[in-house]
Structure 1
Amino acid sequence: MPQFFEAAMLVCFGLSWPLSVVKSWRSRTTKGKSLFFEVFILIGYLSGIAGKLVTHNITYVFIFYIINVVMVVIDLALYYRNSRLDKLAAKEG
């Protein structure tokens, strides 16, 4: 039963990442985004993965950690793309 609740937590947190990725892609700006927030979230997910690996407790929940890490990494990549676009726009304006 604890795995169910852990999976539910990860799914609930994870639902926001695709929306964040789409917003980052469309907005083409870093305004309203926090690099530190995303890095700390990534560290949290990686810590969860490490905990699973260290305790040899790899269950179906593990895939939700992986999916969330992938989404955060995509959003971080878009953050850096958008940061570059913000700098180009500032030079032009």
Structure 2
Amino acid sequence: MSRREAHPTPVTYARFEIRPRRFLRREDAAFYIDVSPTKFDQMVADGRMPKPCRIDGCVRWDIRKLDMAADLISDPEEATNGREIEI
């Protein structure tokens, strides 16, 4: 096995294409917040992550809502500045 095969670069594991996207599929949304798809499903079910929207029958998560939810998880007080927000 060559050295390159033994130690693949991080690019080998990258799942996102290099282009901006506003809406993400389930697997990409889970990858974006750094959890498994199963854990992501649990987080959606318990309200820590937002519910998806439908675009012509396709289920997608809004990346901005994912960011807001992640902000609430990492620092609830700072994220809301004392205000309640809906995700």
Question: TM-score, normalised to structure 1's length?
Answer: 0.21
Q: Would you tell me which structure has more helix in proportion to its own residues?
A: 1
Question: TM-score, normalised to structure 2's length?
Answer: 0.22
Which structure carries more relative contact order (alpha carbon 8 Å, separation 6+)?
Answer: 1
